[in-house]
Structure 1
Amino acid sequence: MEHLPEISFSFHKKVTLKDRNRLRQFLTSLFRENNQALDMLHYVFCDDPEILAVNKQYLQHDYYTDIITFDLREKSSEPMVADIFISIDTVRSNAALLKVPFLKELHRVIFHGALHLCGYNDKTEGEAVLMRQKEDECLHRYGFR
């Protein structure tokens, strides 16, 4: 019998995230397509002060960000166990700045974190271009135009 990964969502900041089962299925297939075994993935939707505190405490970064992704595995050969923190405040600000719907930007960030865990990076210009292409592909496949 196939092991079904646990994908959960915690809301420290109120946000409407509809059709979570569909999102779980999409994320599960994204990991499968990228040959990454997934055991547990936990999304925490928070506000700017909380993500800043996480950024300072765990990464020694003193700035706001939209997402922080933690790969919690002991060994990279193990199935993925991860926490992803997303600041709803920053996602909302970025959506307004980029003139895109909030839910589309929120899903871009949700997929961005999963893509990092699947091995995609965005440190160099080339990596960032590929990451953006993968995000756009995910958004398109998920139904955002």
Structure 2
Amino acid sequence: MAIQFFEEDIKFSLKEKNKHKKWLKTIAENEGFIITDLNYIFCSDEYLYKINFDYLNHNTYTDIITFDNSEEKNFIEGDIFISIERIKENAEKTKNQTETEILRVMSHGLLHLMGYKDKSKEDKKQMSKLEDKSISLFH
């Protein structure tokens, strides 16, 4: 199992990396998945905007983009890009702590890699419940 954390275009260091790795592994295992290669790349708004535009042809800012590189069922391989600037802004809007919002978005990307969607109202509701459950596992 390899979970790694990187930064691009910003200064950011995730505290308690080993605790986060164990937490992510638990989320995956609870859903019947094994993480084989997962990279979290924390970046700036502009960096993520460029990825969103270049790879997905979306002309918008976002807090997260997930690329699924998995080749086998129930084995997770992927890259998850997270805008720290957008996370901080979202935390302010929702009156959450930045750390909680980081957990929400980190779990959100992992849930996408496990097949959960968030396009319909019902899917968003389920995703939100799973994010809340995931956050509770961290504490």
Give deviations 1:53-108, integer Å, cap 9, x for gaps: 000111010100000000013x3537221000000011111111111111111111
Distance 1:78 1:113 in 2: 15
Aligned structure 1 segments of 4 or more residues deviating by more than 4 angstroms = none
Residues 62-81 of structure 1 mapped to structure 2, 5 A cutoff: 62-73=59-70, 75-77=71-73, 79-81=75-77
Unaligned runs of 5+ in 1: none
> Counterpart of 1:85 in structure 2: which amino acid?
F
Match of 1:29 among 26, 29, 40: 26
Matching of residue 57 in structure 1 with residue 57 in structure 2: no
Q: CA deviation at 1:18?
A: 1.2
Structure 1 partner of 2:123:
127
Structure 1 partner of 2:102:
106
> Counterpart of 2:137 in structure 1: which amino acid?
R
Distance 2:61 2:135 in 1: 24
When normalised by structure 1's length, the TM-score is 0.90
Match of 2:39 among 26, 39, 42: 42
When normalised by structure 2's length, the TM-score is 0.94
What SS is found at the alignment partner of 1:43?
Answer: strand
Structure 2 partner of 1:115:
111
What SS is found at the alignment partner of 1:126?
Answer: helix
Structure 1 partner of 2:12:
15
Distance 2:13 2:36 in 1: 25
Compute the RMSD of aligned alpha carbons: 1.3
- Given that residues 33 and 114 in structure 2 are in contact (C-alpha distance below 8 angstroms), is that contact kept between their aligned partners in structure 1? yes
Deviates more, 1:26-35 or 1:56-65: 26-35
Q: Report the CA distance shift for 1:98/1:78 in structure 2 as closer, same or farther (over 3 A).
A: closer
> How many residues end up aligned between the 2 structures?
138
